[in-house]
């Protein structure tokens, strides 16, 4: 999830659902081996997302579903309430309640999850120096207990057995000037073994890494910040055996592994950099050329993953991540800190040796938003990977979609290529492109699918990841009136009100929550 500097996009004028083949488009960059072209088996039909219905709320960011009551819970992005929807008929979702949680914090309700009749919502404080809370509720919104967690709780998720609730405490700073709060990031583990009314909290912090050598690609960049202060947990997924949690550290370009029994961070794995000069790793870098130009460029991408989801394949643990990218921008006025700059505005003395300065033109890569280099000669690095990746439990890259997402959009919906809403063609090419952000996984007819939300182009892509090294593109859906998809919730057939797998999508830009049935 980005820091709150997003602009609303204009409402889409038409819906789009198109199936395309990966055979002509797929490739994967180093260090993972490039996969062979992938094709659907003879007679095998791709997965299809069919729109069922939409709830038009004021705001929407994260959605969770409780199968015991057939209710969906939606956070209101910048508000302190939780909307409760009756989705017994997902073609006609109806708001039945709004739970006021303002007594538990002064910031916003940032996340929600539901499991077996228990609902948990994270509430942050407007004062970064104050810890946030997680509110445990019954399905009707009756509060059972509120527990104190870390600073700026940003995501909550139950473990598969429902015995624990995990909280990513982002710990974002107010700024880096003297007297401005810069709290430590952490992961809270809420034990529910004895019931929600007797919940207890342990917190896994990062102080043990303050003086350890980290992988060079782990970004520790806040002025004067310790490692523990600089690390910002974003999103959590739990291994199938329930022993470990994987936590994206988005601004830090890394994932942390947490041992849930000891409540201890056991590893921080840097994601390395994406070499955009390699064939298959191209990108469109200009919003001023009025064209689709996906080309290799002499720059590196900093993956900076947002959402992730863990899964097992042949006894091994993997996770899939959406490589969104995210700037750091804190403070106000002259004290404002921002780590980004347009390439053409960079002091030429900081460019790498031999850099072709003709590329600084607006129609080349001059307008690309890059990370300010730490020293002269450092590589030119830009935010995000414009891709989704699959990695093993140690963070090693198994697959990356390269430039596939941009190429798919160029083929399927060129009028909205790298758009920022309907009709804003090419507007985001200089800054993270299609911006993959939300993500969910689930089985459809025995095959594991990844659903990837493309924030800027306002749609969801589906990939078969049954073979982690050879994902196969299935389908793409955009729905009129939905902008900036953020939170995804996969609902298996046995829990779904339609008795077919279902996907719920919370769209931050328009405040809508849409429901789709999933078929083959």
Region 255-265: what's the mean pLDDT? 98
CB within 8 Å of 281: residues ≥ 6 apart = 29, 274, 275, 296, 301, 402, 403
Q: Is the pLDDT of residue 8 over 50?
A: no
pLDDT of amino acid 45: 86
Task: Convert the pLDDT of each residue in 464-483 to its tens digit.
Answer: 999 999 999 999 999 999 99
Region 169-195: what's the mean pLDDT? 96
Q: Is the pLDDT of residue 95 over 60?
A: yes
Indicate the domain borders of the chain: 16-124+137-519
Region 183-210: what's the mean pLDDT? 98
Distance in angstroms (rounded) separating the CA atoms of residues 184 and 47 = 42
Architecture in CATH for domain 16-124+137-519: 7 Propeller (2.130)
Q: Is the pLDDT of residue 333 over 90?
A: no
Q: Is the pLDDT of residue 18 over 60?
A: no
451: left (phi over 0), alpha (psi -120 to 50) or beta: beta
Region 53-75: what's the mean pLDDT? 95
Under the banding of pLDDT at 50, 70 and 90, the label for residue 242 is very high
CB 202 within 8 A of CB 188: yes
pLDDT of amino acid 12: 34
Task: Convert the pLDDT of each residue in 361-398 to its tens digit.
Answer: 999 999 999 999 999 999 999 999 999 999 999 999 99
- Can you tell me whether residue 357 is helix, strand or coil? helix
pLDDT of amino acid 11: 30
Q: Which of 249, 256, 228 is nearest to 393 (CA)?
A: 256
Under the banding of pLDDT at 50, 70 and 90, the label for residue 77 is confident
Region 247-262: what's the mean pLDDT? 98
pTM of the model: 0.92
Preceding omega of 21 cis (within 30 degrees of 0):
no
pLDDT of amino acid 43: 53
Residue with tokens 């460019």: 351
Distance in angstroms (rounded) separating the CA atoms of residues 140 and 68 = 12
The pair phi, psi for residue 126, each rounded to 5°, is -65, -20
What share of the chain in percent tops pLDDT 90?
A: 87
pLDDT of amino acid 19: 36
Region 9-22: what's the mean pLDDT? 35
């Amino acid at each position: 999830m980005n820091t709150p500097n997003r602009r609303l996009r204009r409402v889409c004028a038409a819906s789009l659902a198109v199936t395309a083949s990966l055979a002509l488009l797929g490739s994967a960059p180093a260090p993972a081996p490039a996969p062979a072209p992938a094709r659907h088996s003879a007679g095998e039909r791709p997965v299809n997302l069919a729109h069922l219905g939409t709830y038009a709320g004021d705001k929407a960011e994260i959605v969770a579903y409780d199968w015991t009551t057939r209710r969906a819970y939606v956070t209101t992005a910048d508000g302190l309430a939780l909307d409760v929807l009756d989705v017994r008929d997902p073609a006609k979702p109806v708001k039945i309640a709004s739970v006021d949680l303002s007594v538990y914090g002064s910031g916003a309700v940032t996340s929600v999850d539901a499991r077996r009749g228990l609902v948990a919502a994270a509430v942050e404080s407007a004062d970064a120096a104050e810890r946030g809370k997680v509110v445990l509720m019954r399905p009707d919104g009756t509060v059972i207990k509120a527990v104190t967690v870390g600073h700026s709780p940003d995501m909550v998720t139950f473990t598969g057995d429902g015995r624990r609730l995990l909280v990513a405490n982002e710990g974002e700073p107010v700024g880096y000037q003297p007297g401005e709060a810069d709290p430590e990031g952490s992961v809270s583990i809420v034990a529910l073994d004895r019931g929600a009314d007797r919940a207890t909290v342990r917190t896994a912090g990062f102080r043990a890494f303050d003086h350890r050598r980290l992988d060079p690609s782990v970004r520790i960049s806040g002025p004067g910040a310790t490692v523990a202060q600089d690390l910002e947990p974003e999103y959590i997924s739990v291994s199938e055996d329930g022993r470990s949690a994987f936590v994206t550290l988005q601004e830090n370009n890394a994932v942390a592994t947490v041992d849930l029994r000891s409540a201890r961070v056991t590893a921080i794995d840097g994601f390395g950099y994406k070499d955009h000069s390699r064939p298959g790793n191209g990108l469109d870098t200009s919003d001023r050329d009025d064209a689709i130009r996906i080309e290799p460029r002499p720059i590196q991408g900093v993956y900076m993953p947002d959402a992730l989801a863990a899964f097992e394949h042949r006894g091994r643990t993997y996770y899939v991540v959406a490589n969104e990218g995210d700037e750091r921008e804190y403070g106000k006025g002259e004290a404002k800190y921002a780590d980004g700059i347009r390439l053409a505005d960079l002091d030429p003395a900081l460019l790498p040796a031999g850099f072709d300065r003709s590329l600084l033109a607006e129609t080349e890569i001059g307008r690309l938003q890059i990370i300010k280099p730490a020293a002269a000669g450092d590589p030119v690095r830009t935010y995000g990977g414009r891709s989704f990746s699959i990695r093993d439990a140690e963070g090693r890259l198994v697959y990356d979609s390269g430039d596939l997402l941009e190429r798919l959009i160029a083929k399927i919906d060129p009028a909205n290529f790298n758009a920022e809403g309907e009709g804003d063609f090419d507007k985001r090419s200089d800054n993270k492109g299609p911006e993959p952000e939300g993500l969910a996984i689930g089985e459809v007819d025995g095959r594991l699918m990844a659903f990837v939300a493309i924030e800027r182009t306002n749609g969801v892509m589906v990939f078969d990841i049954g073979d982690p090294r050879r994902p196969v593109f299935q389908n793409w859906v955009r729905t009129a009136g939905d902008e900036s998809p953020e939170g995804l919730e996969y609902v298996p057939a046995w829990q779904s009100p339609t008795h077919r797998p279902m996907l719920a999508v919370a769209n931050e830009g328009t405040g809508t929550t849409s429901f789709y049935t999933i078929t083959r």
